Amino acid sequence: MSHVHEISLNSSLNLPRPLVLGSTSRYRAELMHRLRLPFEVIGPEVDETPLAGELPGALALRLAVAKAQAVARQRPDAAVIGSDQVADLHGEPLGKPGTHERAVAQLTRMSGQTVRFHTAVAVVCQDIGFVQHEVAEVAVRFRTLTEAEIEHYLHAEQPYDCAGSAKSEGLGISLLDAIDNDDPTALIGLPLIRTCRLLRAVGMPI
């Protein structure tokens, strides 16, 4: 399914090609609105199962590129953005929990630990053979959490569609001791500094 996001600006935009976000994530769509560029949303059909022995950063990058390429095959004229995020607990990938029970298990394991979030972004334009990508790494130190804190947080925010079971842009910030990164929106799901760099490289005016 495709959705078009129109942006109203004082001056008209004359983009060199259509811009497509290859993602069904509402968080990434919300971040894309910050760039004030009209874009379309097309959900990619990609198997997100990790390969045997695949490290979290490599998994995030492979899936970001695969998502962009899958959508670019449908829209070869467009600049297509693909992105993926994988939480990394001591080398073990942690995905979206999906259920309350899995979220409890994730947060219990992450309590008092430093978790690295690998957020990859890729831009593909099939017509001109453009494929570039980058990965942002965010180190997140969790407080030592009680069972009651975990339950209260999960019932309040229900972050079951978020890798690592916490939304740093919301109440999840209360679970943390520190965040260390160089691209502030990477933890939310799309590193906009890197995204802008890739879009400029494909000829998009940012």
Show which residues are catalytic.
Answer: 84
CB 117 within 8 A of CB 138: yes
In 49-202, which ranges are E strands? 79-89, 92-94, 114-125, 130-142, 176-180
The first and second tokens of residue 69, run together, are: 């390429």
Under 8 Å between Cβ of 137 and 118: yes
End-to-end CA distance of the chain: 26
Quote the tokens at residue 73.
Answer: 């095959």
